[in-house]
Amino acid sequence: MVFSVRDVPWWGVLSSAAAPVLLVGGWTVAAALQPGSFDQVTGTISALAAHGATDRWLMTLAFLGVGACHVATGLALRPAAAPGRLLLMAAGVATVAVAAFPVTRGSGHGSLPHTLAAAVAFGSLAAWPVLARRRGPAAAWALRPAAAAGALLGLLAWFYVELSAGGRQLGLAERAAAGAQALWPLAVVLACRAFGQPGMQPLPDLLRRVGPALPLRPDDHHSGGGDTDETGQS
């Protein structure tokens, strides 16, 4: 199966590009607005949207926007396998739930609904590339994501270790995992669109579409106007 550029509409490019911009921009600006100095190496992203945080609406809107972008990207990413697309959309819904159930500043890791929503979002964003994979030469390189899936799961494992042990790099690990997870849908979309451009059809599939040559008949004409039964016609 060959996918064309039309399989990923323009709004899919827009949503996949907006997600990392909203996420990174949101946590950067929100951290700068906190009184004193907010340490992004130790402080979590959720703390910027927590009850009691300064201008918490900013990070809350960023979470909502990122969740909506993941849902839109899942709908647009037609070359990917359906289970992966559904998991990406589920991650978007879970990200919206993260914003809907904020933590209370200074209360630790937060409420159970917030923790469950964050776990579903992180887990789904790490696992969806595996379920979205396509096999064969007709698939874009980003839909054969063995290395990418390993990297995303590795970053998620680092964040889990920091979270469990109360490490001093909790915020850094969370931002590394969340940033990579937000960027990967964009990489998949761009790869699929580039792969679907004219001239990118795999040769084996192209040859399969070419049928056997039909024999010439006496009433067939070539470009010179002669008949096939003329002398010297091959």
Pair 169, 41: CB distance under 8 Å: yes
* pLDDT, tens digit (0-9, with 9 covering 90-100), for 168-206: 999 999 999 999 999 999 999 998 888 654 433 443 443
pLDDT at 156: 95
pLDDT at 37: 82
What does the alpha-carbon distance between residue 94 and residue 189 come to, in Å, rounded to a whole number?
Answer: 21
Q: Is the pLDDT of residue 228 over 90?
A: no
Look up the pTM and report it.
0.78
Q: Is the pLDDT of residue 11 over 90?
A: yes
To which residue do tokens 């697309």 refer?
A: 85
What does the alpha-carbon distance between residue 18 and residue 58 come to, in Å, rounded to a whole number?
Answer: 15
pLDDT-derived band at 126 (thresholds 50, 70, 90) equals very high
What does the alpha-carbon distance between residue 26 and residue 168 come to, in Å, rounded to a whole number?
Answer: 22
pLDDT-derived band at 66 (thresholds 50, 70, 90) equals very high
227 DSSP β-pair partners = 221
Q: Is the pLDDT of residue 152 over 80?
A: yes
Q: Is the pLDDT of residue 140 over 90?
A: no
